[in-house]
Amino acid sequence: MPLFGNSFSPKKTPPRKWASLSNLHLLDRSTREIELGLEYGTPTMNLAGQSLKFENGQWVSESGSFLGDHRELQRLRKRNQQLEEENNLLRLKVDILLDMLSETTAESHLMEKELEELKQHSRRKK
């Protein structure tokens, strides 16, 4: 005979209450931003002495020196193009060198085989 009863029977859990009793979730967005202070402003960053802000999906310079930025941008694009062309040339050279190495290796293996066959042929004659 069990001490505490015949079987284990847990109590029913009470129904859950609302997760939040606050009525802030019922407010419209602008009121929530005012109440909760969610207005952050535009993201900004300082990169190499240049202050940039994020507007309409693009990073824009905060300073008014767009002409200087434009010249710098053109210079960087030209340098980038030169580096891409150089990179393509170097890739082509590496491909050619790999082909040459493969060809030389194949010829070397063929010559080794031929040499082995000649050695075996000369041993048979003796």
Residue 80: phi, psi to the nearest 5? -60, -40
pLDDT at 52: 82
Residues paired with 45 in a beta bridge: 52
What's the token pair of residue 121?
């042929």
pLDDT at 23: 66
pLDDT at 96: 97
**Residues 52/60, Cβ–Cβ less than 8 Å:** yes
pLDDT at 10: 74
**Residues 92/100, Cβ–Cβ less than 8 Å:** no
pLDDT at 24: 63
Residue 72: phi, psi to the nearest 5? -65, -40
pLDDT per residue of the chain (126 residues) written in tens, 0 to 9: 556 666 667 788 877 766 665 666 666 777 767 777 666 677 788 877 778 888 888 877 777 555 556 788 889 999 999 999 999 999 999 999 999 999 999 999 999 999 999 999 888 876
pTM of the model: 0.42
Could you tell me the residue ranges of all domains in the chain? 25-63, 65-125
DSSP H or E run through 56 = none
pLDDT at 88: 97
**Residues 59/52, Cβ–Cβ less than 8 Å:** yes
CA–CA distance from 85 to each of 59, 92, 99 (Å)? Answer: 28, 11, 21
Looking at residue 38, its amino acid is: L
pLDDT at 100: 97
